Structure 1
Amino acid sequence: MKAEAWLFTGTALFFGATAVVYRLLSADPAGSSALCVSFLMSALVAAFLWRRHQRGGERPEDRDDAEVAEASGRRTFFPDRSYHPVLTAVGAALTALGVVQGLWLFLIGFGALASGILGFAFQNLDHPE
């Protein structure tokens, strides 16, 4: 996971630097917003991969001296129940309604959406293997 984490960290840094330079040299808010969202999405993936690497260590496929038998077996845990899909759906609906109805509803929806997405990304990290 370390190689993937470095790849997404580099991508996030590229989008972040590009967003800053683009914002300073251009008056286009749409391009700046798109670059900021790209930075945030790649930073989220990078943070997940770094946490996963800290928790799981090196994978057998990352090592040159690994054997095929080392990669067999259960590698992850999937929970039986999760409220994160419902929370994400409610957050997306409230965010979409908030665009029409007002900023207060948009902010409530964005908070629910952000917590649902972060819950999806990090719900398995504290499960002992």
Structure 2
Amino acid sequence: MRTNVKLFTILGVFLIVVATVYGFWVQWTEWAGIPALYAVAGLSLMVAVFLWLTERKFGQGPDDDEHGEISQYAGTYGSFAAWSWWPLGLGLACAALVLGLAIDAWIAFIGVGVGIYFLVGWVFEYSKGDHAH
């Protein structure tokens, strides 16, 4: 996991440098590529931080051990929902939001409202109902 942390950190820093150089190159007038490069840099650094925190929590993994075996990867990796309808509703709400941005703002407002409902439902899915803990 240490190799992955280093890889994503280097990638994130590289993309920040590239985005900054690109911004100066186009004199900060191009508003599609510059935010996209910064966003990808942020996502790379987010993955690096997640992997770093995971390594701190669980210690050295089998992939960091030079003499590690494939059988060391056996076991439970987490708790996952068997099924859920909330992501489908959230996806439809996002589609309505994008459709509203393309057609008319009132559709976007409906998409945002429905999206907030489905997002809250998905976040609190394990609080009550069939999958309550």
TM-score under structure 2 length normalisation: 0.60
Instruction: Give the AA of the match of 1:8.
Output: F
Q: Distance in 2 between matches of 1:6 and 1:91?
A: 37
Q: Please identify runs of 4+ aligned residues in structure 1 that moved more than 6 A.
A: none
Q: Distance in 1 between matches of 2:58 and 2:23?
A: 38
Q: Distance in 2 between matches of 1:13 and 1:91?
A: 34
Residue of structure 2 in register with 1:13 after alignment: 13
Q: Distance in 2 between matches of 1:2 and 1:92?
A: 36
Larger radius of gyration: 2
Q: Judging changes above 3 Å, is the alpha-carbon distance between structure 1 residues 98 and 50 closer, same or farther for their aligned structure 2 residues?
A: farther
Identity %: 28
Cα distance, 1:63 vs structure 2: 0.7
Cα distance, 1:96 vs structure 2: 0.7
Q: Distance in 1 between matches of 2:97 and 2:49?
A: 24
Matched length: 114
Q: Judging changes above 3 Å, is the alpha-carbon distance between structure 1 residues 58 and 88 closer, same or farther for their aligned structure 2 residues?
A: farther
TM-score under structure 1 length normalisation: 0.61
More helix by proportion, 1 or 2? 1
**Structure 2 spans left out of the alignment, 5+ residues:** 124-133
Instruction: Render the CA deviation track for 1:28-54: whole Å, top value 9, x for unaligned.
Output: 222213312322332333233233323
Q: Distance in 2 between matches of 1:13 and 1:38?
A: 10
Give the CA RMSD over aligned residues: 3.5
**Structure 1 spans left out of the alignment, 5+ residues:** 120-129
Residue of structure 2 in register with 1:123 after alignment: none
Residue of structure 1 in register with 2:37 after alignment: 35
SS in 1 for 2:48: helix
Q: Distance in 2 between matches of 1:84 and 1:49?
A: 27
SS in 2 for 1:61: coil
